[in-house]
Structure 1
């Protein structure tokens, strides 16, 4: 109705969850669906509860541009009957207009809208689809597996309205043939009456949890149809004994051709007997599929990170991480040990590169095992390694180098090692050069030994 009296873009935005969501608009072809709380002029007005008139939006740091250039803006809060903001009504003009009286008009419109909203029960709640979208974005932004699982639990609990959500997964620190099942992540509603439910689930024996997970993943998503005191609940005695009356179980990776209990299941529970509708179960399947996709993405990123930073033959880190470690060296304490396998070229020339690869792998293992906890070994060339160690003195660095030479001899081969302790004012690259020069001196003097760089 307001748009009949002025050529302006007019929007009404209401607070829904953590956004100001546009519920009606006129006067423009494109509008924002929602604005995060605290952003833009609308966020400022909502937070303050006071109207604002901006005659030159170019000078306002909070202005968010969308569509054609705007010259002026008036925004007023929508106030409910308790005096609290529940949204804003915003008007923007593309051309200079007489704005006398418009701030008062929009303020009164906000008051009337707020009163009517109070009569109707307040701003509209998020739909389940909106909730699912918000949680799907949160899962995508998770940076660890644990964060994905926790966010999936919280999302499942909020979307269903049930008291608790848990994730059952194999314990990661056991061999496949020894794996037990346990609740690895749990989220429950904040009411004190619901907290004991998750605690009771955590006390269920691992073998019974394993049976529950296998049942949940056997054919896909499943849900309960009523009170287990009335209906047949055989096989779920562990849950019903813990007080569970309603359950929805969705395997992670739901929707894929093969669902395995080794992946895990998202289980949502309540102590009240209800019958979930099938559409709700479908939403949880989408949520579980999204969580599974995010877990796969994180696994792939970890694998790519290892591949990008490691030598595929020996598993040792190579040039990039070595450069980072040099940049963090401590002058006066960091020692660099340049290592070269003696007569390695002869192995490749006489026995072939496959034999040379075996020697490299064997030597990498031997050197790694001979180093102390915290020492780092890198492969920086064909048969060239560098150990970076922190020591109190050059004498300690020489002892470590001698231990590496002994470890190499135990494999049936020998190495030459040049040692340099970074000087107080010395760049790490200069210390590395000195270690290399010491290594070449060992080579010239018959190999199979250690030399400290001057």
Structure 2
């Protein structure tokens, strides 16, 4: 910025002859930037609020500028939130400054406010020079005033462009943590982009075609839709590509979809998820009103479907990696880390720990080899899991060592669970030894496991193939060393 002063009158004239007659909001913003750039060297930008993000509608004076900034970030975010102008003499000393140009020293930012209400944007300038701050601030305030009045006169802030709308939803999809979140965000994006009231995702083939997720006032209708009609729709969409309706089905050919049109659907867009695959999903947007979707809308939904597939594959892969990281690859049971976490949540007087050991398992490996030993373990685990209740958890914590955590109301119930496990092992031709300990009030989970382990070794000493309830509070030997709790990624 020049230190020679600013011709405020010249700026006012430039704003009056350009901004006040601009035919659109983007034109008005760019005209305001040009008027300032004639007198103020530096990076000048006008950013307006679009759905919680400050988007650049006009800029000058730099090779690189931000297209969009979160409304709570940077000096411009601070000005937008507070409605108060900011003059930063040394950007290096301001923790809110977002660096883009390494030579910038100063930043001046002013909110844009309409006739009524809070700020809806900012005018911002950054420079490598030392400016006359009062003059610069006055220039920006005058520009923001004229620009705010013109934007209000044009009807207010413009709507998002189709590309900005899709970008916002793509970012939200990418941040989804699991499959249900991906599906729900996809459906919300479908409603927003299409302008239709309801959305759904159909999966499966033939008679197995069904609605996996639905959203909107017609969600229930879609979930209960005729399976043959859904199957026909899905098959056509997967094989030939996206389709959309052209008008009222009462006057146009809607054969094959009578169950949908009779239920009140008058407009529909169908987009394949996963390309031309028999097992791919189909994204649906529907409404009870008659409309003719624009082809660009269908294209945007195709891009959304592609992004949804990428996000689904990502969360599924992450889920598989988490499972592998926290599970025994042979049996599929949780290992040390998950057992330790579950043990820490054990409730006194309501949770029992069962320590299990396969009797003489080493002899199997030595005699028949590890492959046969692995087969035996898998068969045994299946038998034990079939015996346990849905709320019980079984873990593999060593080569032939297992542990179960079960919710019970009394120690005799825990003993009964252990005896059923012993009987299950016998049915597949093996025997196990089980120690049982009910966590006592005031007792640590680790001490409960020690008592279960002691009871297990008592069974071993008495001949194996059985279950024993641990003595209350008695611990005779150190607990086997467990690794620290593993936090799943």
* TM-score of the alignment, normalized to the shorter chain, above 0.5: yes
Equivalent residue for 1:358?
375
CA-CA distance at 1:89 after TM superposition = 0.4
Q: Distance in 2 between matches of 1:95 and 1:375?
A: 70
- Distance change >3 Å, CA 449–CA 76, structure 1 → 2: same
Q: Is the 8 A contact 1:167 1:186 kept in 2?
A: no
Structure 1 residue corresponding to 2:71, chosen from 33, 37, 52: 37
Q: Distance in 2 between matches of 1:448 and 1:126?
A: 71
Q: SS where residue 218 of structure 1 aligns? A: helix
- Conserved in 2, the CA contact under 8 Å of 1:181 and 1:207? no
Counterpart for residue 341 of structure 1: 358
CA distance in 2, matches of 1:208, 1:25: 52
Residues in 1 aligned to 2:250 and 2:271: alpha-carbon distance in whole angstroms: 23
Q: Pairwise mapping of residues 30-429 of structure 1 onto structure 2 (< 5 A)? A: 30-58=64-92, 60-68=94-102, 70-82=104-116, 85-170=119-204, 179-182=208-211, 184-187=213-216, 195=217, 197-198=218-219, 200-254=221-275, 258-260=276-278, 262-330=279-347, 334-391=351-408, 394-422=411-439, 427-429=444-446
What secondary structure is seen at the aligned counterpart in 2 of 1:85? coil
- SS state at 2:101 partner: coil
Identify if the C-alpha distance between structure 1 residues 273 and 423 changes in structure 2 by more than 3 Å, giving closer, same or farther: closer
1:20-47 C-alpha deviation (Å, 9 max, x unpaired):
1112223333322111123333223223
2:481 aligns to what? none
Instruction: List alignment gaps of at least 5 residues for structure 1.
Output: 171-175, 188-194
Equivalents in 2 of 1:340, 1:181: separation in Å? 45
After superposition, the C-alpha distances for 1:177-212 in whole angstroms (9 at most, x for unaligned) are 86352473123xxxxxxx4x5555455333333333
Distance change >3 Å, CA 444–CA 229, structure 1 → 2: closer
- Aligned counterpart in structure 2 of residue 25 of structure 1, from 54, 59, 69: 59
Is 2:40 the partner of 1:6?
Answer: yes
Q: Deviations over 1:332-358 (max 9, x none)?
A: 654332211222223233344343233
2:456 corresponds to 1:439: yes
Mean alpha-carbon deviation: is it higher for 155-164 or for 267-276? 267-276
Tell me the SS of whatever aligns to 1:123. Answer: coil
Task: Summarize the Cα distance change of 1:308–1:177 in structure 2 as closer, same or farther, 3 Å threshold.
Answer: farther
- Cα distance in 1 for partners of 2:215, 2:382 equals 40
Q: CA 1:238 to 1:140, structure 2 compared with 1: closer, same or farther past 3 Å?
A: same
Distance in 2, matches of 1:84 and 1:414, equals 75
User: For this pair of structures, how many residues does the alignment match?
Assistant: 437
**Per-residue CA shift, 1:268-316, capped at 9, x if unaligned?**
2345555444433222211111112222222222222222222233222
CA contact (8 A) 1:317 1:377 kept: yes
- Aligned to 2:125, the other structure's residue is in SS state strand
* Unaligned 5+ runs, structure 2: 1-34, 475-489
Partner SS for 2:173? helix
C-alpha contact (below 8 Å) 1:157/1:163 kept by paired residues = yes
